[in-house]
């Protein structure tokens, strides 16, 4: 398989996963509605809790991947935080948080003026 074919395959897999999630959401809603209609609210709640846990686990895993990818982009493209923020569609402050999470670097220090005019460094 060529590089181009692998990329095409990977993009198709992600598109399929997204479609499968939408289908699963719709089917779960229908199934829970049936259980509720049959008076089985406790069963519906237990199943909804299981779905919620699975989705939360998926969200946690994808958040980790997203942070790592953002760190990779920032490092590979040697961009400023402003450029990264524009590229990924977040604020500069959020981009900084994501880069810090990815790289483990400490928060940026900035110089500010105290009310009396002296300089101070904040984290």
Angstrom distance (rounded) from CA 41 to CA 122: 53
The CA dihedral of 54, 52, 56, 53, to the nearest 10 degrees, is: -50
Instruction: Give me the DSSP letters along 11-76.
Output: HHHHHHHHHHHHHHHHHHHHHHHHHHHTT-HHHHHHHHHHHHHHHHHHHHHHHHHHHHHHHHHHHH
Is 121 inside any structural domain? no
Is 83 inside any structural domain? yes
Question: What range defines the domain where residue 13 resides?
Answer: 3-106
pTM attached to this predicted model = 0.68
Is 89 inside any structural domain? yes
Neighbours of 23 (CB within 10 A): 10
18-31 pLDDT, tens digit each: 999 999 999 999 99
Tell me if 112 sits within 8 A of 122, measured CB to CB: yes
The SS3 call for residue 122 is: strand
46-85 pLDDT, tens digit each: 999 999 999 999 999 999 999 999 999 999 999 899 999 9
**Total domains, the chain:** 1
The model's confidence at residue 40, banded by pLDDT at 50, 70 and 90, is: very high
């Amino acid at each position: 398989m060529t590089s181009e074919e692998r990329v095409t395959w990977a993009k198709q897999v992600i598109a399929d996963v997204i479609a499968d999630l939408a289908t699963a959401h719709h089917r779960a809603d229908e199934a829970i509605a049936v259980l509720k209609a049959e008076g089985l609210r406790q069963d519906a709640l237990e199943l909804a809790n299981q779905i919620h846990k699975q989705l939360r686990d998926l969200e946690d895993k994808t958040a980790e991947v997203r942070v790592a990818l953002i760190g990779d982009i920032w490092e590979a493209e040697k961009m400023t935080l402003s450029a990264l923020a524009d590229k990924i569609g977040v604020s500069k402050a959020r981009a900084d948080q994501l880069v810090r999470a990815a790289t483990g670097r400490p928060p940026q220090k900035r110089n500010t003026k105290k009310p009396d005019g002296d300089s101070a460094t904040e984290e």
